[in-house]
Structure 1
Amino acid sequence: MSQTPQEHTPDPAASAPGAAPVALVSGATRGIGRQIAAQLARRGMTALVGARDAAAGERAATEIRDAGGRAHAVVLDVTDAASVAAARAWIADRFDRLDVLVNNAGIAGDMAGQAPGSADPDVVRAVFDTNVFGAVALTEAVWDLLLRAPAARIVNVSSDVGSLTQALDPGHYLSRLPGFLAYGPSKTALNAITVQYAKALAGHGVLVNAAVPGACDTDLTRGTGMPAPRTAAQGAEVAVRLATLPEGGPTGGCFGEDREVPW
């Protein structure tokens, strides 16, 4: 895979004072990530469409531009250190800051390889590599760019299955799901990382929160057997809200559409 971002030629004024806020969304070629990028662009931001596949990223960015938004595709594989470094360098060169980071890239993994007692450690590692270590790698890479923004926001796209409280609540449907060791625990870890970043950035005006889209009909959920009554566009809304929080908004929390999700 090429490590060189493939994108539309950016506006020379993109890094000028007063320019549109810049938002990077990982895993943004389809599903919830694609909708987050599109909705942020509709709000006047420049959406950077993080994509492992350059062609898919350019298609998504073109669709956003055709709808009247600002968008550029950026080749980004959060599990590849060289890819992360190249994406960071491209953003720094063209914008010199990053106003919003949405860590959306995630995989469910082979569900058959996650059952306690018969789990495949390689499956668990692969899921954590993307869902947890990938989010850490990307956040660390763009850390200085976020601090250059006047009021940056970080949103980690989590899941209801990451809530230990819900998983142990006899009245919650999640408590009745079979055990699995990769996807749910990876989101629990992502929640914990959210808290640590929120603490570290509290004195810098950067708000860091986890977003729970709810069960949405996407490639990730299809085939898992879980109900998915919401659309990807609906699921994206909570991440967009957290990405556009005003000064003084919450930080270090986990939020769904209309509630705070318990840890």
Structure 2
Amino acid sequence: MDFTGYRVVVTGAGRGFGRALAVSLGRGGAEVFVSARRFDAAEETAQAVRRVGGRAHAFECDLAEPESVREFAEALAETADAVDVLVNNGAPYLDGGFTEADDALVAETIAAGAAGTVLVTKALLPMLLRSERPDIVTMVSGCGEYGNHRSEAHEAFYAAKSAQAGFTEVLSKRLRPKGVRVISLYPPDFDNPDPLGPEWDAERRGGDALSARSLVDCVRFAIGQPRDCFIKSFYFEQV
């Protein structure tokens, strides 16, 4: 699908899936606004989008810090008058033993993944409501599914993702009457190659592991549907 004219915000886009999605949407014609905890990481992704012919803007945003979220929203509002899609991708991963993890990292994981997702959505909602096709996409993870215990992620990451799941569930109900689609993805752990490298296409050749490109295609498919088609959630069978 051609995403020319779409204005898309991707949080946590300095690396990983956020970077892959930003590059794909930028290649498809969207104007992409990417944020990361460090500005240089966001700018590196923005440059990658530009290399494939897209338009991109970089912002610094630490989702664990409310003031940083507010500054990001204010800077974004100076660049665009409206946003069509917000992708809540930013959420730090944490693994390791429950009692061994540093307390500060535990708090940061929950603050950024849970409170940060709520706050950035709250801050950008006025810009979304000025769009004729507003979508909020959240990369929740299988760790947000009730009863899921197959990931080796830390319990704090599970807590953050469960909070995202609860937030998007009620948000969907409350924003649907306003024309906002709230779309959540619950993938298990997945492979995530460089979107500009040869392995991005090669990963399609087979294998059982879920690929980042398949997740990118899910997002592109969902936001590209007519407004009467509301895909609320994507769940994935684990092998």
Q: TM-score, normalised by structure 1?
A: 0.75
Deviations 1:76-135 (A, max 9, x none): 1112222212221222222111110001011122422x36xx777654432211111110
For residue 22 of structure 2, what is the amino acid of its counterpart? A
State which structure, 1 or 2, has the greater radius of gyration over its C-alpha atoms: 1
Contact preservation (8 Å) 1:209, 1:254 = yes
Distance (Å, rounded) in 2 between the aligned partners of 1:202 and 1:42: 29
Match of 2:14 among 16, 29, 37: 29
**How well do the aligned residues superpose, as a CA RMSD in angstroms?**
2.6
Report the equivalent of 2:226. 246
Q: How far apart are the structure 1 equivalents of 2:60 and 2:220?
A: 22
Q: Output the CA distance in 1 between the equivalents of 2:44 and 2:152.
A: 38
Q: Do residues 99 (structure 1) and 114 (structure 2) align?
A: no
Q: Distance in 2 between matches of 1:178 and 1:41?
A: 32
Q: 1:79-158 counterparts in 2 under 5 A?
A: 79-112=64-97, 114=98, 122-158=104-140
Instruction: Please tell me the residue identity of whatever aligns with 1:99.
Output: D
Answer whether contact 1:211 1:242 (CA < 8 A) is retained: no
Question: Which residue does the alignment assign to 1:207?
Answer: 181
Count of paired positions: 221
* Aligned-residue identity in percent: 29
Query: How far off its partner does 1:215 sit?
Result: 1.9
CA offsets, 1:125-184, max 9 Å, x none?
Answer: 3221111111001001111011011110001101112211444xxxxxx3xx67952112
Name which of structure 1's ranges 28-37 and 208-217 shifts more when overlaid on structure 2. 208-217
Structure 2 residue corresponding to 1:255, chosen from 211, 214, 234: 234
- Contact 2:91-2:113 within 8 A present in 1 as well: yes
What secondary structure, in the 3-state scheme, does the structure 1 residue paired with 2:83 have? coil
Alignment of 1:178-257 (within 5 A): 180-218=154-192, 229-250=209-230, 253-256=232-235
Letter in 2 for 1:87: F
> For 2:29, what is the secondary structure of its paired residue?
coil
Instruction: State whether residues 212 and 255 of structure 1, in contact with CA within 8 Å, keep that contact through their aligned partners in structure 2.
Output: yes
- Is 1:160 aligned to residue 142 of structure 2? yes
Q: Which residue of the other structure, out of 48, 55, 58, is the alignment partner of 2:33? A: 48
Cα distance in 1, alignment partners of residues 230 and 66 from structure 2: 31
Equivalents in 2 of 1:39, 1:210: separation in Å? 19
Q: Tell me which amino acid in the other structure corresponds to 1:154.
A: I
What stretches of structure 2 of length at least 5 have no aligned partner? 194-207
| 1:20 equivalenced with 2:2 (yes/no) | no
For the Cα contact (< 8 Å) 2:143–2:188, is it kept in 1?
no
SS of aligned partner of 1:184: helix
